[in-house]
Amino acid sequence: MSDDLARTDEFPTLQSNPERTAVPQPYSSRVSVETGANTNPGRVRANNEDHYLIARVARSIHLVKTNLALEPGDDLIEEVGWALAVADGMGGHASGEVASRLALLNGVHLILNEVRWSMKISEDEAEMLMKRMGQYVLDVHQAISDQGNTDPKLYGMGTTLTVAYSVGRDLFTVHVGDSRAYLHRRGMMLRQLTHDHTVAQRLVEEGVLQPGEAQHHRLKHVLTNVIGGKGDHVVRAEVQRNRLQDGDRLLLCSDGLSDMVDDDAIREVLDRVSTPQLAADELVRRALLAGGRDNVTVVMARFLFPADTAG
């Protein structure tokens, strides 16, 4: 196992103190996460088919009564994760809006019904979590396809889905479609974590197009991988694991941003604007100024890690 994935003991042995005892808090609960989001229907479309969510996921013990002599604030012990998601719906009338909403709601219910929550990430747990995330996508796809097939007004509805889950320094993403997840490291990089599941991107991967040509190709919006949609097709969940560093920012967006604002301009905003909410507002504003041809959604998180342990 590489050094950057080395784990530390989150629960060191309690030191004996006859007067007062400090309960060691899990590393994940001491990570500071600041978030921001903005969504807009754009300047062309009448309704907004994008949906997003930001959720603080916690497993906790809250001591209601005890005669233990604890340090102030130690009545609550919890492990914490963060989930961010963007879904960009498609389909006639309002069915795209329905599909993106159902994708997020079904995902939330699947997690709530999950017996095992991943709050401490070993190598084995990371592998199992990635498998479960892939299965969540298949389950969401089936639920949306079933509803579309039973309601003629919703037939063919589909959506992209890009989800990120962090616990401590571990970051997991699961992705279908052409919404995107980016990792921004100040002064160093803006890296696209996801791949666009489009015909144009497939042509790039096959060597037919150069990478810069896909952005302006006529098939850049034709999806090769979608949740729901028409016909009986297999969804491919793209699942990844990455490690976060202090000050990293995570950006999830619909293609209403990436079509209107290129990566260099996105990086310039993130290098300059440190607050996630202000950065999200500025990126949406840039997309609207560039024409706002589609719904645009931006979700952001900034991670600050305690210095006393690597996590």
pLDDT digits (tens, 9 = 90+) for 24-63: 788 888 999 999 999 999 999 989 999 999 999 988 888 8
Question: Greatest CA span in the chain, whole angstroms?
Answer: 73
**Among residues 229, 60, 55, which one has the least CA distance to residue 156?**
229
* pLDDT at site 182: 98
pLDDT exceeds 60 at position 4: no
Q: Is the dihedral of CA 239, 52, 263, 31 positive or negative?
A: negative
Beta strands in 168-272 (DSSP E): 170-176, 180-185, 189-192, 227-228, 238-243, 249-253
Residues 6+ apart with CB under 8 A from 61: 76, 77, 78
Q: What's the mean per-residue pLDDT of the chain?
A: 87
- If one compares 288 and 125, the residue with the highest pLDDT of the two is 288
pLDDT of 116 reads: 67
Q: The domain that contains 56 carries what CATH number?
A: 3.60.40.10
User: Do the domain assignments include residue 73?
Assistant: yes
For the cut 60, the answer to whether the pLDDT of residue 16 exceeds it is: no
- Residue 22 in any domain: the answer is no
Does 16 fall in a domain?
no
309 lies in a domain?
no
Question: For residue 306, how many other CB atoms are within 10 A of its CB?
Answer: 14
The mean pLDDT of 75-100, rounded to a whole number, is: 88
Is the pLDDT at 135 greater than 90? The verdict is: yes
Number of separate domains in the chain: 1
Domain range holding 71? 40-196+227-304
- Tens digits of per-residue pLDDT, 146-195? 999 999 999 999 999 999 999 999 999 999 999 999 999 977 789 999 99
The average pLDDT across 254-283 equals: 96
pTM over 0.95: no
Q: Is there a domain that residue 177 lies in?
A: yes
124: pLDDT strictly greater than 70: yes
Mean pLDDT of 135-148: 94
The pLDDT assigned to 115 comes to: 56
pLDDT digit string, tens, across residues 238-248: 999 999 999 99
CA atoms within 13 Å, Cβ hemisphere of 207: 0
Question: Is residue 117 very low, low, confident or very high in pLDDT (cuts 50, 70, 90)?
Answer: low
* Structural domain includes residue 235: yes
Task: With respect to residue 21, please indicate whether it lies within any of the assigned structural domains.
Answer: no
Return the higher-pLDDT residue of 201 and 253.
253
* Residue 15 included in any domain: no
Question: In the prediction, which pLDDT does 118 show?
Answer: 67
Percent of the chain with pLDDT over 90: 62
Residue 93, pLDDT above cutoff 80: no
Q: Mean pLDDT, to the nearest integer, of 215-220?
A: 75
Instruction: Give CA 70 to chain center in angstroms.
Output: 36
pLDDT of residue 78: 86
